Structure 1
Amino acid sequence: MATPTKPFPLRLAVPLALALLLALAFVADFLVSPTTTPAVATYSKTVTNISPGLQGVERRRKKGNNAKRVEILNATYADLPAPRWDWEEMPAAPVPRLDGASVQIGDLLYVAAGYESLDHVHSHVDVYNFTSNTWTERFDMPKEMSNSHLGMVSDGRYIYAVAGQFGPQCRPAVNCNFVLDTETREWGELPPLPVPRYAPATQIWQGRLHVMGGGKEDRHEPGLEHWSLAVKDGRALETEWRSEIPIPRGGPHRACVVANDKLFVIGGQEGDFMPKPGSPIFKCARRHEVVYGDVYMLDNGAKWRQLSPMPKPDSHIEFAWVVVNNSIIIVGGTTEKHPLTKKMILVGEVFLFDLETSKWSVIGRMPFRIKTVLAGYFNGWLYFTSGQRDRGPDNPTPKKVVAQLGDDTLAGLDGDLGVKQCQRAEGTVTLNND
């Protein structure tokens, strides 16, 4: 005779039902979820094919011995995959220099102003000769001219120096403008800007000196205003600046380039260090900055057009660019702060913007990460000098200001608040004009 079956205990029914529901929910979630997770949050989508291996960073909040995940942080601060270039170190600059300015005329690179330290700024111009690969000359700037964060551009003979910051630390911006005749080494004055500007985007386009964006007098608040002044042979043809169409996004430390008769403004940031309230020496105090990779183009003077953004947000690149063939090449800079430490992160990639396709690519890597470099291109070689470099391969935060000069056939840099090194690079990318 069969043993009678015992009834299923009611006390187990509820737990088993809950377990079954959880199992069904897990299977359903697995079936509808993608098989792979995006490497980085939003930003990785803008750099597809450039940074497929970029990893997000998990921020965790500790509670007792348990770590609870709060969010996946955007990893735009991380290095992007890039080919290694062989850089050649050139003669070091006479002085370390940070936040200086430069223009190239023929085989000469004119390097002006800049910090040697927060308490010491330069008031002279050094000249590097690409043909002889030597620093050949030094001459003084006007005493009233800005010592850092100025706009600078050349028409092939005359160098126009616009606004910037006069003095050390974080003094307010000024509106004074000057012009240098590079053949006679004589300085002249231009009409002042309507208001002071800190690190404005500056270029000569269609016979007019254009100045736009930058920071306002306090260095921190972004400016959107855009002015122009007719100039010829080192002279202003007008007594006042003309208002132009404002730039869509303001702020300092941007590359401003004229190519194919179009005006480009690339990268930059909103916000910067400000003078500490009540400080008699205008001691620098950090505020919140937002670094971006926006690219804007003006081709008819009537409307700004937004183009594809840079592969990563990039700032401190106002003189870190060259135009080669039908491309704009940008080296180094700073990107978004580290999401956990909040420290400034330097950039070590070399970016190329194709003017025909309006697309970006990462074409090389610098010998180290560095910001505010002064770049030039001559006879197949890409050069850069000055700036502030990283603390080492595994630490992208700022360390030394350098005076090195480097080149790579397409080039690097090292020094203390400012870098004195000069380096160059060749052969990694075809850049010859023939």
Structure 2
Amino acid sequence: MSRFTQHHTHSSSAAKWVFLTSCACLLGGALVADFLWASSSYSSSAYSFISSNLALDKSGALVVPNVTANEADQKGSFKDKKEHASERLLSGTFADISAPELPWENMTPAPVPRLDGSSIQIKNIFYVFAGYGTIDHVHSHVDVYNFTDNTWGERLDIPKEMAHSHLGVATDGRYIYVVSGQYGPQCRGPTARIFVLDTETKKWSSMLPLPSPRYAPATQLWRGRLHVMGGSKENRHTPSVDHWSIAVKDGKALEKEWRKEAPIPHGGPHRACVVMNDRLFLIGGQEGDFMPKPGSPIFKCSRRHEVVYGDAYMLDGEMKWKVLPPMPKPNSHIECSWVIVNNSIIIAGGTTEKNPVTKRMILVGEVFRFQVDSMTWSVIGRLPYRVKTTLTGFWNGYLYFTSGQRDRGPENPQPRQVVGDMFRTKLNL
């Protein structure tokens, strides 16, 4: 009996010990899981914030700023769904990058607001081409701005057969080559036509068309040849990697056909194309774009999947594309948003990847600098508002920009109003 009692007591104690140990393990596991969840939540938001503030040092290495839990929570996470409407819905590369404020001066606005127009600067004269007024109306003229007296003056009509938006443009200092682009409003397809404006006589002429129509191709004059690269194909959506060139002089083609060149590594429209120090640079852009709705008699725009990228490439005397450090964030709609200042390429505004929650387009409000000697990127300032397809110029130490489509306000980066505003700020680089 005593043995039974002793054995029972020992078994009961052991059972209790096992029960208590199991409870402790379960409680400990719950605490660890809770800690890991909290850490993961913080790490995710912190990473999102950090990834939106990446910069490149002179060696090309990534420089990551310090970040606190409070900053990460404010920049990259949401407490509950009810706050979605009032918060920016920005995270990671979709977020605004910290940048110094620039003292912008409001100048005389352009005669008309325009979106997806193009521009060329020749000395102190700034030519602003066509573009959308609204989705159902496109402009058929060029507005001319004089940086010396800061006034809008001449208005030049474009040829009736010339495209109205998403043009490729380049100049030799007198002649402006206007390549392909979209003819008409809404989402009509591109043309292969090329026109040339003699800025001294103010007369237009036509030139040998492209081998195929292209929408928003990257275009530049380099080493006596007109280069046309990428863009989208006839359906406006499929990216092209084609690269053609043709010898030109005094507004005329010197050859009877286009020459195939090294295809670009990453196709698509809406990228900056710059010639500097005898090298050709391609920066940013996207794959895909709106397409006409099938069967629509007015070619009504229909949304398609788009991928924005910050890739940068360079072509030099070897005629082989070299990969450069990417932009601080993906950026598109910047084909005429750049200027050259003191061995640097300056890019103002654009569009970045869509918001991962709302899937809405997000505009860019930063001013980027690419220093060609060190091949490094930095963010040197902020625009008065986020805006895409800015048309930029540089004169007498001032960075100018006009036109485009701006955001809905400081707390909403989605596009809304098409503007004709003109601003300038003094750049000290």
TM-score by length of 2: 0.87
Q: C-alpha offsets along residues 50-83 of structure 1, whole Å, 9 cap, x if unaligned?
A: 6955643469899xxxxxxxxx995211100000
Tell me by how many angstroms 1:44 deviates: 4.8
| 1:214 counterpart SS class | coil
Q: Structure 1 pair 30/340, CA: closer, same or farther in 2 (3 Å)?
A: closer
Tell me which amino acid in the other structure corresponds to 1:179.
Answer: V
Q: Which residue of 2 aligns with 1:417?
A: none
2:198 alignment counterpart:
181
SS of the equivalent of 1:136 reads strand
Distance 2:24 2:341 in 1: 65
Over the matched positions of the two proteins, sequence identity in percent amounts to: 63
Change (3 A) 1:197 1:25: same
In the alignment, what sits opposite 2:13? 8
Counterpart of 1:37 in 2: which secondary structure?
helix
- What residue in structure 2 maps to residue 151 of structure 1? 168
Larger Rg: 2
Separation of aligned partners in 2, 1:166 and 1:118 = 13
The 8 Å contact of residues 146 and 164 in structure 1, kept in 2 or not, is answered as yes
Letter in 2 for 1:10: A
Distance in structure 2 (CA, Å) of the matches to 1:207 and 1:87: 37
- 296 and 59 in structure 1: CA distance in 2 versus 1, 3 angstrom threshold: farther
In 2: Cα distance, 1:308 partner to 1:14 partner? 59
Other-structure match for 2:181: 164
In 1, Cα distance between equivalents of 2:342 and 2:26: 64
Return the letter of the residue paired with 1:282.
Answer: F
Q: In structure 1, what is the equivalent of residue 85 of structure 2? A: none
Q: Report the CA distance between 1:210 and its aligned residue.
A: 0.5
8 Å Cα contact 2:53/2:328 also seen in 1: no
Partner of 2:146: 129
Who is 1:97 aligned against? 114
Contact 1:50 1:81 in 2 (8 A): no
The one of 238, 246, 254 aligned to 1:221: 238
Aligned to 1:40: 47
Aligned-partner Cα distance in 2 for 1:174–1:50 = 46
Contact 1:252 1:268 in 2 (8 A): yes
Conservation of the 8 A alpha-carbon contact between 1:40 and 1:74: no
1:231 corresponds to 2:248: yes
Cα deviation, 1:202-252, whole Å, max 9, x if unaligned, reads 001111100001011111010000000101111111111100000010110
CA distance in 1, matches of 2:35, 2:200: 72
Distance 2:211 2:79 in 1: 46
Find the residue that maps to 2:24 and give its secondary structure: helix
Distance 1:15 1:163, change over 3 A: farther
1:150 deviates by 0.6
| Native 8 Å contact 2:269 2:286 kept in 1 | yes
Q: Distance in 1 between matches of 2:419 and 2:193?
A: 28
State the match for 2:283 in structure 1.
266
RMSD between aligned residues = 2.7
Superposed, 1:181-330 pairs within 5 Å as 181-330=198-347
Q: Deviations over 1:144-190 (max 9, x none)?
A: 00000010011100000001000000001111001110000111111
Tell me if structure 1 keeps the 8 A contact 2:52–2:96. Answer: no
Contact 2:389–2:405 under 8 Å retained in 1: yes
Mark the runs of 5 or more structure 1 residues left unpaired by the alignment: 63-71, 411-429
Question: Of 377, 391, 400, which residue of structure 2 is paired with 1:374?
Answer: 391
1:142 and 2:159 matched: yes
Structure 2: any 5+ residue segments left out of the alignment? 1-5, 56-62, 83-88
CA contact (8 A) 1:113 1:147 kept: yes
How far did 1:13 drift?
Answer: 1.3
1:19 Cα deviation after fit: 2.6
Pairwise CA distance, 1:106: 0.5
Preserved CA contact (<8 Å) 2:221 2:227: yes
1:391 counterpart residue number: 408
Work out the CA distance in 2 between the residues paired with 1:56 and 1:113.
Answer: 39
User: Aligned partners of 1:251 and 1:59: how far apart in 2?
Assistant: 37
Task: Give the CA deviation at 1:300.
Answer: 2.1
Whether the 8 Å contact between 1:245 and 1:301 is mirrored in structure 2 is: no
Instruction: Report how far residue 40 of structure 1 moved.
Output: 2.3
Change (3 A) 1:44 1:152: same
8 Å contact 2:53–2:65 — kept in the other structure?
no
Matched, 1:362 2:379: yes
Name 1:425's counterpart in structure 2.
Answer: none
- Match of residue 25 from structure 2: 20
The aligned residue for residue 67 of structure 1 is none
8 A Cα contact 1:58 1:73, kept in partner: no
- Deviations along 1:336-366, one digit per CA (max 9) or x if unpaired, are 1111111110000000001011110010000
Task: Identify the residue that residue 415 of structure 1 maps to in structure 2.
Answer: none
Q: Which amino acid aligns with 2:214?
A: R
TM norm structure 1 = 0.86
Is this contact kept in 1: 2:52–2:95, CA < 8 A? no
Q: Secondary structure at the match of 1:20?
A: helix
CA–CA distance in 2 between the matches of 1:323 and 1:51? 32
Deviations for 1:240-287, whole angstroms, at most 9, x for unmatched residues? 110000001011000000111110000000000000000000000110
Secondary structure, aligned partner of 2:25: helix
Residues 50 and 362 in structure 1, CA contact (< 8 A), matched pair in contact too? no
Q: 2:86 aligns to what?
A: none
Contact 1:59 1:73 in 2 (8 A): no
Distance 1:238 1:153 in 2: 18
Secondary structure at 2:367 match in 1: strand
Q: 1:91 to 1:50 in 2, by over 3 A?
A: farther
Per-residue displacement from partner, 1:17-45 (whole Å, max 9, x unpaired)? Answer: 363376389779989x99x8362259458
